[in-house]
Amino acid sequence: MKGARTLRTLGLIGGMSWISTRAYYERINKLVQQRAQPMASAPMVIESLDYSRIAAAKNSDDWDGVASILVESARKLEAAGAEGLVIAANTMHKVYDRVAEGISIPVIHIADAVGEAMAEAKCESAALLGTRFVMTESWYRQRLVSHGVDLLPPDPGDVELVDGIIYKELMLGRVTRDAERALKSVITMKDKQGADAIVLACTELELVVDTDANVLPVFDSTDIHCRAATDWIFG
């Protein structure tokens, strides 16, 4: 079409879980359609991994094994024509450096995208909700802190609760009222503890958290990552 803008091709490592991968695909395409023209769609190369392989390695604390799976996928996507890459899962960013070093195209880090959005919103204090790896380990927290965000320390009870909801329910496609109530209670408590906002640092948590109707503003990592990916597609 004359005058149509050339969009860059995005690679997406998915399947972690397939539920969030579906959300990424739908959201990025809707954003592209809104910004380009009604017949536009996002140029994407996607590999949906078998999460059972990753889960087995993760549960054995074999992060080298996890990294190998993701690096192999990233190289496939680059060879297939991807010009940039997203990893469609927060926890898998634990091996981000290995993936980024293994390919020659840029990888959009989800925590950097969230941190930039929080800095733009002038949010200085937040509580982080995600898997236990995201909530307790420094590799994710330090990315947000580097953008000027002060994070509440993780509460062991919250870590166990939220991690259990993610892996025992949401990753399996189960969405319950009990989970919704539990997350609402956690967010209410974070408000009382002085947080200015909540970071949903798991791509499935939006299934049980109403991002528009809570006592605190919610920074949804899935939505923010998709917007950052769309910005990259448009160059």
Which class is 111-220 in CATH?
A: alpha beta
Round to whole Å and give the CA distance between 148 and 146. 5
Domain boundaries, the chain: 10-109+224-234, 111-220
Estimate to the nearest angstrom the gap between the alpha carbon of 187 and the chain centroid.
19
Same fold, 10-109+224-234 and 111-220: yes
Q: What is the pLDDT of residue 214?
A: 82
The closest alpha carbon to 9, from 35, 32, 34, belongs to: 32
Q: Which fold has domain 10-109+224-234?
A: Rossmann fold (3.40.50)
Looking at residue 172, the DSSP 8-state letter turns out to be G
pLDDT (tens, 9 = 90+) of the chain, 235 residues, equals: 444 678 999 999 999 999 999 999 999 999 999 999 889 999 999 999 999 999 999 999 999 999 999 999 999 999 999 999 999 999 999 999 999 999 999 999 999 999 999 999 999 999 999 999 999 999 999 999 999 999 999 999 999 999 999 999 999 989 999 999 999 999 999 999 999 999 999 999 999 998 887 899 999 999 999 999 999 999 9
CB under 8 A, 24+ apart: contacts of 40-45: 40/7, 42/7, 42/10, 42/230, 42/233, 43/7, 43/8, 43/9, 43/10, 43/233, 44/9, 44/10, 44/11, 44/12, 45/9, 45/10, 45/11, 45/12, 45/77, 45/80, 45/81, 45/82
Q: How far is CA 201 from CA 20, 36, 90, 103, in A?
A: 12, 29, 6, 25
Residue 4 has what pLDDT? 60
